[in-house]
Structures are given as structure tokens and as C-alpha cells.
Amino acid sequence: MILIFPLLLVRAYDLVPNTPCLTICPIKFSPSFFAFTSHLSLVEIPKNVQEALQVPELKKAIFEEMRALEKNHTWEVMGLPKGKTTVGCKWVFTVKYNSNGSLERYKARLVAKGFTQTYGIDYLETFALVAKLNTVRVLLSIAANLDWPLQQLDVKNAFLNGNLEEEVYMDPPPRFDEHFGSKVCKRKKSLYGLKQSPRAWFERLTQFVKNQGYVQAQSDHTMFIKHSNDGKIAILIVYVDDIILTGDHVTEMDRLKKSLALEFEIKDLGSLRYFLGMEVACSKRGIVVSQRKYILDLLKETGMSGCRLADTPIDPN
């Protein structure tokens, strides 16, 4: 297996006994992978809802998000009780891509301003597990060595599936406050941005996956493993709402995907292509991981995206 960061090639360790590491030399990417990576940083994302409403696709996404929130009965409109305070909220925008790099859709999400919450009033327990990057790398290496498929799932509005135990009141969504008048939103379900939302969602998902016969790994509690009687294995690992499935028990993996789709709103993204800022290219010769977009984003944030190489002057003394 070869890892690229972003252009430097590094050979991975042999993580499976009696199985040699895979190498790719020279590196040859498919046209679809080049198209995918080249499109990741082409679209500008608005910083606020005023800018987003000027983009027809984002305006449509905003209204779709509002309809989804109302359809799921995520809040109850009511007057703010005496002695209670509200949590603010804002809009966050992003772009989703197809596996070939083409633009799939614009996405708008209403996010609570969790930093305005008060401990003991708006929330209690907040700790939520996320997958360790080392675990993800190990899985990629094992999948490369054993020729396992890597499949990716996305849970739509994952945090809305979490059960909210605390009493939380939220301000009306920006640009829609005129429809609420002087009333506020009493949360009935968790929402992105609330401090307790990741914990509530992960507990809900964990309980469901365990009920499917999976065992939670001790080394990384975001990884779930199921062994079959004939020695086959299926592995699920989750990072918030992004799920990777791998293993040699293809039948069980397909069954689990169907079960997840019945319980939650799941989108099957097919073969693993983009996960946690890493672009992944799989072939029979191994797996290549690139962090091209991550590097480009860093250069843009630091104002170095237009920099040029220059020789370092040498002191003649």
C-alpha cells in the first residue's frame, strides 16, 4: 500500500501476518480519480445566509433543510418560558460530489450555536467517540492486503436521530424569524451544533448496530465487528455520520446496509473515495491515499495559494 501526502510516497507497514505489503510503482491514477480530486476545490462556499440566497442551488437547499426539519418534528414552536434562555443558530453550507468528481448537490444545514449553552441547564454529558485515524489507516492497509471491498455510507441528518433529554430552546432560523414572531423553537430532537448531539447520535447508532449482532471493539469503540460461523468477517467504523464498511462477508455487509436504511435515512456512496479529508483510490494493486484538498485548503487559509518557488539565498560568508 502507498500513502501520498500529498505527493510524497510512503510505504505502509505490513499490518497483516504473513501478508506482504502492496506497492504501486509507478503510480497511475484512473481518469475518474483525477477528475474527482480536481473538482474538490473548484466551488466557492458562501460564508453567510445572505450570500447563499443569491445562489439558486443553495437557496433551494435551504428550503429543503427547513422542510426536513419540520417533517421530522425536530422542534415545537412556543413562547419562551419565564426564566429560560435560548440557544442561537446559524446556517452552514457545503458541497457534495459524485464519485467521478462532478458536482452532486449543494447542501445547507441549520446548526445550533452550542457555545451559548450553559452546563447543567442546556446540557449535561457531551463526550462522544469518533474513529481514530490510526484505526482507519489500519483498515485501509488490511483491505489492501486482503483485497477487501471498501464501501462508504452517509447518514442524512444524523444528529436528528439522537434523543434529546434536556430542555433546550433555540432562536428561530436566520431569514425565517419573521414566520415565528415572538415565539421560539423548543427542541424535541438533537441538532448539529448542540453540545450533546454527537453523544446522543452515537448512543443511538451503537445500540442499533449491537442489536444487529456486532461486537464493539475494545481498541476503538467506533469500530464494530461481526464474525460468521464460516470464519468470514464484516467490519463497520463510524466517524460522526460517515460510515465505512469492509470485510470478506459481502452478504452480511449488504444486509447491514439494508437494515441501516430502514432505521435511518442512509445514502450508499458506493466504493470509498473521500473520507475525513482523504481522497482514496483503490485498485487491484493497492490503495492510494491523497490529501490534496486538505493541503490546498491550508494554503488558501494562510494566503499561500498563489506562492511561487524561489531559491534560498546563500550567504557567501
pLDDT band, residue 121 (cuts 50/70/90): low
pTM above 0.85, yes or no: no
Residue with cell 449482532: 213
Nearest CA to 220 out of 208, 230, 206, 231 is that of 206
* Residues whose CB is less than 8 angstroms from the CB of residue 51 and which lie 6 or more positions away in sequence, other chains included: none
**pLDDT of res. 31:** 61
Nearest CA to 99 out of 146, 43, 39 is that of 39
pLDDT (average), residues 19-41? 50
pLDDT digits (tens, 9 = 90+) for 45-104: 777 888 888 888 888 888 888 888 887 788 888 888 888 888 888 998 887 766 555 677
13 pLDDT above the threshold of 50:
no
pLDDT digits (tens, 9 = 90+) for 145-187: 888 888 888 888 787 777 777 788 888 988 887 788 888 988 8
How far is it, in rounded angstroms, from Cα 107 to Cα 167?
28
Residue with cell 510503482: 25
Side-chain-facing half-sphere of 131: CA atoms under 13 Å: 21
3-state secondary structure of 295: helix
User: In the 8-state DSSP scheme, what is residue 87?
Assistant: B
105 versus 202: the higher-pLDDT residue is: 202
Q: What is the mean pLDDT of the chain?
A: 78
pLDDT (average), residues 236-265? 89
